[in-house]
Amino acid sequence: MPSEPSFHIGPIPIHGRTILSPMDGFSDQPFRSLARRLGSAISYTEFVNALDVLNGHPHLERRLAFLKTERPVTFQLFDDDPGRLLQAALKLRPFEPDIIDINMGCSVRCVSGRGAGAGLLREPAKIAQIFHSLTHALDLPITGKIRIGWDEDSLNHVDVARIIEDNGGAAIAVHGRTKAQAYRGQANWDAIAEVKAAVSIPVFGNGDVRLVADIGRMREHTGCDAVMIARGAIGNPWIFAGLDRHEVTEPQVRAMVLDHLQAMQAFYGAELGLVLFRKHAARYISPYGLDTAQREQLLTSETAEDFTRILDQLALQPAVA
């Protein structure tokens, strides 16, 4: 780790310019810690519903569990009610996160449709209330992750970013798409640059970063303090170490796959860990020329031993273009 931080979020020093994006169903403790080891500068949890915090969801502690080596750790919350968000953040404070982040970017209907996630972008006054109350009540940085607007007719990324900063927010991550776009179309990097020019707190750019070269292009284009990588890191966590997938050797892939599988089973238990690992395994093996039967054989393995045996039998080689 370099002696001098790349930037700060409030008083928290951040070492590095790439960050694994919070992703529901993917950015759990095993994957986060793996990405952190490879160079991701911050660990963001999967987003947590404030209602689940207040009502005591049975899987809450597992979603919030983190390793000391992951610090700095950010807990991400979502809700449409400022009061519940405040209560939930106060209840999470004893878990000792370094940062609490408010999700204002989720486009999934069951979240945004009830006014949470990207739904908050339609109510800037509520965003102001959320950040004002949390930053005054808590003794740790409060940050936000936004999209650039609800749709192309209501782009309000600059106004929302200024509201977050004016009400004590310590950093902003900007996904360069609207809620209406979801994950379709091209990310608007110009909008990320506009946010960076409008505020003095750190800004993270997110969207269409799939290769190492994209990291440098986004930073040059937007001036952002760090680049947040989501789908581009699934199946290629080596991007945080500065490697594109074609640069990773088969022995490196095998070692990582088995390391990740072992971590999943240690965290979730042998059976559930293997089942949940399948979505990662599918992405790890995607560059190889496996036919449907081979993929099915590997991805339906019922034990880690069977998975390892089949993996070794397949003699993975990159698919010929």
Q: How many CB atoms lie under 10 A from the CB of residue 64?
A: 17
- Angstrom distance (rounded) from CA 254 to CA 51: 40
106 is catalytic: yes
**Torsional sign, CA 226, 230, 232, 235:** positive
**Residues β-bridged to residue 263:** none
Of 53, 73, 106, 264, the catalytic one is 106
For residues 269 and 289, the answer to whether their CB atoms sit within 8 Å is: no
C-beta neighbour count of 151 within 10 angstroms: 13
- Tell me how far apart the alpha carbons of residues 175 and 108 are, in angstroms, rounded to a whole number: 14
Contacts of 103 (CB under 8 A, 6+ apart): 22, 47, 76, 77, 78, 116, 117, 145
Which residue intervals of the chain are DSSP H helices?
A: 29-38, 50-55, 60-64, 82-92, 109-112, 124-137, 157-166, 189-198, 212-222, 250-268, 270-284, 292-299, 304-314
Residue with tokens 């008083």: 11
3-state helix, strand, coil in the chain (%, to 5): 50, 15, 35
Two structure tokens written together for 189: 């990097």
- Phi first, then psi: give them for residue 182, nearest 5 degrees: 55, -110
Catalytic residue ranges: 106
